[in-house]
């Protein structure tokens, strides 16, 4: 899955995860198929992953999550954040969906992250264990919004603090903005998988995202995966938008 230790930031492969944020099953399938079709173009030939999160799962349930993911690797982005026992039990309930990745919030603390890791190890058969990813600081937060929550450090310091905590407690990887990739690599090395939302192709609207970069910039910074939703799903031609982003990752 992630790049091996020999990759520098520039040569590390970066895969696209398409975020299917909708309440509608048919719409999610249509966007999934658009991304799959884009990935079959001869210059790309690299299948995407799909991400399903709170909006789709609350609207349609876990069976629909499995149906939409089909044979594609699934990033189940439910950002669990609760007491350790509850998070661990919830992970047990997610095993039947067979995700390739799932998320918790690093700010849930060491005991919660460690409980999540034990639950992942226990609930999934050998060889089918998903990567446990910890969300550091949401990409929709800037310094001012972070400080309003009572955190006095800079966004960068808080991302690195939570990243260290999460990895030392058992997370396989982190969700961060592209701006923190270099800092996290310097602090934690090449091993943690870095999954990076806050991606906006040149000229596309930032919307509620605050810490953004283009796909090519995130790739050059060393992202293992980029997560892209609206720039694909709200594009007039989602397949063309997905193909253009995949092409940026090949450079
Ligand atoms: O810090 C985070 C963590 C998760 N996300 C999720 O990624 C996608 C991004 O969608 P866009 O439409 O490309 O903004 C979305 O599902 C978020 O829940 C994030 O953006 N930032």
Candidate list 24, 71, 82, 210, residue with the active-site label: 82
121 — phi, psi (to 5°)?
A: -65, -35
Ligand 1, atom 2, lies closest to the CA of 138
pLDDT per residue as tens digits for the range 111-136: 999 999 999 999 998 889 999 999 99
Ligand-binding site membership of 201 (annotated)? no
Look at residue 3 and tell me if it is in a domain: no
Looking only at the bridges linking them, the beta strands covering 15-19 and 173-175 are unpaired
Ligand 1 proximity of 72 Cβ (cutoff 6 Å): no
- Tell me whether residue 6 is in a domain: no
Q: Kindly state whether residue 7 falls inside one of the protein's structural domains.
A: no
Taking the CA atoms of residue 160, residue 164, residue 165 and residue 170 in that order, the dihedral angle to the nearest 10 degrees is 140
Hey, is 195 helix, strand or coil?
strand
Query: Does the active-site annotation cover 82?
Result: yes
- Is 21 known as a binding-site position? yes
- Domain assignment present for 97: yes
Total structural domains in the chain?
A: 1
Q: d(Cα 203, Cα 195) in Å, to the nearest integer?
A: 22
In a domain, 4, yes or no: no
Q: Which of 17, 21, 102, 201 most suits a substitution to test ligand 1, by most atoms within 8 Å of the C-beta?
A: 21
Ligand 1 binding pocket includes 133 (Cβ within 6 Å):
no
CATH code of the domain containing 49: 3.20.20.70
- C-alpha–C-alpha distance, residues 228 and 217, integer Å: 14
Report the C-alpha gap between 193 and 208 in whole angstroms. 25
Q: How far is the CA of 97 from the centre of ligand 1 (A)?
A: 21
Beta bridge partners of 199: 213
In a domain, 58, yes or no: yes
Q: What are the counts of helices (DSSP H) followed by strands (DSSP E) for the chain? A: 11, 8
ipTM for the complex shown: 0.99
127: DSSP letter? T
DSSP string of 144-178, one letter each residue: HHHHHTT--S-HHHHHHHHHHHHHHHT-SEEE--G
* Beta bridge partner(s), residue 184: none
Task: Give catalytic status of residue 79 as yes or no.
Answer: yes
* Residue 60 belongs to domain spanning: 15-250
Q: Is 210 noted as a catalytic residue in this protein?
A: no
| Across 44-53, 96-105, 208-217, least confident range | 44-53
Nearest to 175 by CA among 141, 205, 150: 141
Could you tell me the CA-to-CA distances from 205 to 50, 196, 210 in Å, in that order?
22, 17, 11
Structure tokens belonging to residue 162: 């939570």
Atom 21 (ligand 1): residue with closest C-alpha? 139
Q: Which of 2-6, 152-156, 236-240 bottoms out in mean pLDDT, i.e. has the lowest?
A: 2-6
The annotation status of 104 as a binding-site residue, yes or no, is no
pTM check: above 0.90 = yes
**Which of 77, 172, 210, 224 is an active site residue?**
77
| Residue 5 is assigned to a structural domain of this protein | no
Q: Is 243 in the pocket of ligand 1 (CB under 6 A)?
A: no
Q: How many CB atoms lie within 10 A of CB 112?
A: 25
Percent of the chain at pLDDT above 70?
A: 96
Lowest-confidence segment of 35-44, 82-91, 175-184, 218-227 by average pLDDT: 35-44
Ligand 1, residues 49, 50, 139: which to mutate, most atoms within 8 A of Cβ?
139
CB of 228 shorter than 6 A to ligand 1 = yes
Q: Which residues contact 192 (CB under 8 A, 6 or more apart)?
A: 163, 167, 171, 172, 173, 174, 184
Residue 2 pLDDT more than 90? no
Among 121, 70, 71, CA closest to 95: 121
How confident is residue 11, by pLDDT bands cut at 50, 70 and 90? low
**Is residue 147 situated within a structural domain?**
yes
């Amino acid at each position: 899955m992630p790049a091996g230790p020999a990759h520098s930031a520039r040569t590390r492969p970066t895969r696209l995860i398409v975020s299917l944020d909708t309440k509608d099953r048919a719409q999610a399938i249509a966007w999934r198929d658009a991304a799959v079709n884009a990935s079959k173009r001869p210059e790309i030939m690299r299948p995407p992953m799909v991400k399903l999160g709170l909006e789709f799962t609350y609207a349609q349930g876990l069976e629909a999550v499995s149906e939409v993911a089909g044979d594609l690797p699934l990033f189940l982005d439910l950002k669990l954040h609760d007491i350790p026992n509850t998070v661990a039990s919830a992970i047990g309930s997610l095993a039947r969906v067979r995700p390739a990745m799932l998320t918790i919030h690093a700010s849930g603390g060491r005991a919660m992250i460690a409980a999540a890791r034990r639950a992942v190890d226990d609930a999934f058969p050998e060889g089918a264990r998903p990567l446990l990813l910890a969300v550091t600081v949401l990409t929709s937060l800037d310094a001012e919004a972070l400080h309003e929550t009572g955190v006095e450090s800079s966004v960068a310091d808080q991302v690195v603090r939570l990243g260290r905590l999460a990895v030392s407690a058992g997370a396989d990887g982190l969700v961060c903005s592209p701006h923190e990739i270099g800092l996290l690599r310097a602090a934690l090395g090449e091993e943690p998988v870095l999954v990076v939302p806050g991606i906006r192709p040149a000229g596309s609207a930032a919307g509620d995202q605050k810490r953004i970069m283009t796909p090519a910039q995130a790739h050059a910074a060393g992202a293992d995966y980029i997560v892209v939703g609206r720039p694909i799903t709200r594009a007039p031609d989602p397949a063309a938008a997905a193909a253009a982003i995949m092409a940026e990752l090949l450079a």
